[in-house]
């Protein structure tokens, strides 16, 4: 199943900001749509005022059995009614990262950066899903999607700041930070 994030003039999420943290930005768009499908569809008419990013939820990587069990025990699912704030953070890592072996990446990811162990305390307040897109020819390697209640916005900022200080993040060569709010239709 492919998850498509389409930035444009309409969508279920109103975009508040798009910031290039490292590398090239994405063009600002007022709205974001998030859809799942069994195939990737091309835009009908290419536009300078829109973009599309596609990824696939995959098996957990760099995660050992005990870590997976800890995550499953405390993580929340996407789509909770109270989670009306979101962040889409596409990331591309350097060639140096991909030239490392799986074992070397695991050591950086968890043994030294403590990505999983440090992130556990932010769950279940912040729901997240990682989508892989490196092998799809996309401009990013990963699309990270987070949803949280507005009351947990400062907790989310703490999570992102903590992750950006890790050794793992020294391999990030492009990162865009987009914030959005769920559109609520009034009756």
Q: Which residue has the higher pLDDT, 86 or 187?
A: 86
- Per-residue model confidence (pLDDT) at position 162: 93
**Range(s) of the domain holding residue 175:** 2-182
- Phi, psi angle pair for 127, to nearest 5°: -90, 145
Percent of the chain with pLDDT over 70: 90
Check which CATH number belongs to the domain holding 101 and give it: 3.30.70.3420
Residue 107 burial (10 A CB sphere; 0-12, 13-18, 19+): middle
Q: Which long-range contacts (CB under 8 A, 24 or more apart) does 20-26 make?
A: 20/175, 20/176, 21/164, 21/175, 21/176, 21/177, 22/172, 22/173, 22/174, 22/175, 23/92, 23/173, 23/174, 23/175, 23/176, 24/174, 25/176, 26/51, 26/90, 26/176, 26/178
Residue 177, domain member (yes or no): yes
Model confidence pLDDT, tens digit, residues 137-178: 899 999 999 999 999 999 999 999 999 999 999 999 999 999
Percent of the chain with pLDDT over 90: 68
Residue 142, domain member (yes or no): yes
- Per-residue model confidence (pLDDT) at position 48: 65
Residue 65, pLDDT > 80, answer no
- Whole-prediction pTM value? 0.90
| Cβ atoms 112, 165 nearer than 8 A | no
Residue 139, domain member (yes or no): yes
- Phi, psi angle pair for 159, to nearest 5°: -60, -50
Residue 122, domain member (yes or no): yes
What rounded mean pLDDT belongs to the chain? 89
Report the pLDDT averaged over residues 94-100: 96
Residue 79, domain member (yes or no): yes
Model confidence pLDDT, tens digit, residues 4-16: 999 999 999 999 9
Q: Which residue has the higher pLDDT, 109 or 4?
A: 4
Residue 187, domain member (yes or no): no
For the chain, give the number of residues. Answer: 187
Total structural domains within the chain: 1
């Amino acid at each position: 199943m492919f998850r498509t994030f389409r930035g444009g003039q309409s969508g279920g999420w109103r975009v508040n900001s798009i910031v290039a943290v490292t590398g090239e930005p994405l063009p600002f768009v007022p709205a974001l749509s998030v859809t799942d499908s069994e195939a990737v569809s091309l835009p009908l008419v290419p536009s300078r005022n829109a973009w599309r990013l596609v990824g696939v939820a995959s098996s957990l990587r760099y995660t050992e059995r005990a870590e997976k069990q800890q995550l499953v025990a405390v993580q929340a699912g996407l789509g909770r009614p109270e989670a009306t704030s979101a962040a889409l953070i596409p990331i591309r890592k350097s060639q140096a990262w991909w030239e490392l072996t799986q074992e070397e990446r695991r050591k950086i990811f968890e043994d030294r950066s403590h990505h999983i162990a440090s992130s556990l305390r932010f769950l279940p307040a912040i729901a997240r899903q990682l989508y892989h897109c490196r092998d799809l020819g996309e401009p990013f390697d990963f699309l990270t999607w987070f949803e949280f209640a507005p009351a947990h916005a400062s907790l989310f900022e703490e999570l992102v700041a903590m992750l950006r200080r890790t050794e793992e993040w020294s391999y990030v060569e492009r990162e865009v930070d987009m914030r959005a709010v769920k559109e609520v239709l009034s009756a």
